[in-house]
């Protein structure tokens, strides 16, 4: 049997197991709606040492990131964080001090996001740390990936590419303060929780940017059954990322790296033309930067255009486990 990709595996092998449960949405979204009428949505993410974080990463920061990537999925559904479950496999050699450091980090973010821990499991075994968090959010009408329509304008929150640069920060020819900023963005993503109400009021479709902007745009395109045209020059980048960009020989290739790197945990979302002003005003009110980067169009797939209007060829759109 030939090996399938991650998303093909989900669609072909796992999605049938969700048949009959309306709130699972065929496993096409960032989270599921419990019992459809309960007002609770649920998501789960697993972080594996050596895959999603490095052996040397401080465990308090690892714990905080583990919770934040789940918060990001809740934001993607316009759901307010509610509570979470934790299941963790400690390596045989873990020290008690490291365990407490993990707990301290988790406690800090549980408090920040008003998300109490309500259960889970903890065991010891193997040679690496494995963390699974199942997070619950409150929402009556979840934001889906499937609602984009031709004419909708495409926006992204925050900046793109810092997470990927932060992962590689030690190898970058940048001053230490700049590298530290990028490392912080990699280890401590900032899911735009304050944007939830604006998304509920104005967005037609959305998802979080975790696999890479180009890849996640493709997920949105596929689920909505529409095309997406993105303007590469419009993609927002941070001051730290710009210091890296100016050192690169080919600016287009460098920008492609930023939009395919992943680990941004920002929101990619669509807004109908008549609601753009309302959305922008709401974003300003909560001090979340949002940037228009493209347009939903007829057709399928994602096209990325450079400043000259030429289509940029992208061979690998983002991160995948398979």
Residue-wise pLDDT tens digits, 63-92: 999 999 999 999 999 999 988 888 889 899
Tell me the pTM: 0.86
pLDDT at residue number 147: 95
Cα separations in angstroms, 267 against 31, 95, 176, 198, 247: 14, 37, 28, 12, 28
Residues 285 and 237 in one domain: yes
13 within a domain of the structure (yes/no): no
Residues 169 and 130 in one domain: no
Boundary of a domain, candidates 138, 171, 206: 138
310 within a domain of the structure (yes/no): no
8 within a domain of the structure (yes/no): no
pLDDT at residue number 322: 38
Whether residue 319 has pLDDT greater than 60: no
Domain of 241, CATH number, reads 3.90.650.10
Residue 181's beta-bridge partner residues?
none
pLDDT at residue number 300: 94
Number of domains in the chain: 2
- Dihedral sign from CA coordinates of 15, 16, 18, 22: positive
3 within a domain of the structure (yes/no): no
318 within a domain of the structure (yes/no): no
Residues 193 and 124 in one domain: no
Residues 123 and 159 in one domain: no
Q: What is the pLDDT of residues 285-305, one digit of tens each?
A: 999 999 999 999 999 999 999
Six-digit token string for 183: 């490392």
Are the beta carbons of 194 and 288 closer than 8 angstroms?
yes
Mean pLDDT to the nearest integer, 183-191: 95
Domain of 134, CATH number, reads 3.30.1330.10
- Supply the range of the domain harboring residue 61: 31-138
20 within a domain of the structure (yes/no): no
Mean pLDDT to the nearest integer, 127-144: 93
Residues 128 and 42 in one domain: yes
Q: What is the pLDDT of residues 13-56, one digit of tens each?
A: 657 766 777 777 887 876 677 766 678 898 999 999 988 888 88
Six-digit token string for 144: 């889906």
Whether residue 239 has pLDDT greater than 70: yes
**In the 8-state DSSP scheme, what is residue 11?**
I
- Arithmetic mean of pLDDT over the chain: 90
Residue 83's beta-bridge partner residues?
136
């Amino acid at each position: 049997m030939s090996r399938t990709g991650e998303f093909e595996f989900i669609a072909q092998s796992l999605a049938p197991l969700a048949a009959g449960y309306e709130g699972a949405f065929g496993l096409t979204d960032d989270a599921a709606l419990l019992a459809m009428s309960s007002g609770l949505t649920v998501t789960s993410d697993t972080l594996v040492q050596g895959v999603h974080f490095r052996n040397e990463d401080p465990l308090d920061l690892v714990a905080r990131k583990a919770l934040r990537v789940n918060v990001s999925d809740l934001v993607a559904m316009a759901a307010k964080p509610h509570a979470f479950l934790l299941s963790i496999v400690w390596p045989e050699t873990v020290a008690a001090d490291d365990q407490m450091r993990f707990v301290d980090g988790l406690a800090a973010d549980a408090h920040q996001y008003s998300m109490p821990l309500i259960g889970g499991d903890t065991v010891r075994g193997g040679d690496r740390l494995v963390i699974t968090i199942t997070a619950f959010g409150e929402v009556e009408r979840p934001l889906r990936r499937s609602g984009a329509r031709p004419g909708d304008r495409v926006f992204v929150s925050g900046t793109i590419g810092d997470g990927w640069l932060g992962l590689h920060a030690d190898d970058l020819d940048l001053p230490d303060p700049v590298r530290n900023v990028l490392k912080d963005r990699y280890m401590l993503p900032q899911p735009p929780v304050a944007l939830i109400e604006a998304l509920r009021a104005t967005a037609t479709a959305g998802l979080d940017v975790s696999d890479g902007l180009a890849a996640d745009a493709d997920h949105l395109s596929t689920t909505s059954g529409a095309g997406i045209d993105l303007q590469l020059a419009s993609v927002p980048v941070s001051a730290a990322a710009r210091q890296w960009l100016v050192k690169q020989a080919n600016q287009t290739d460098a920008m492609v790296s930023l939009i395919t790197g992943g680990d941004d945990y920002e929101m990619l979302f669509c807004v109908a033309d008549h609601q753009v002003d309302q959305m922008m005003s709401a974003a300003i009110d909560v001090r979340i930067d949002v940037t228009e980067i493209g347009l939903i169009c007829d057709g399928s797939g994602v096209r990325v255009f450079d400043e000259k209007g030429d289509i940029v060829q992208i061979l690998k759109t983002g991160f995948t486990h398979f």
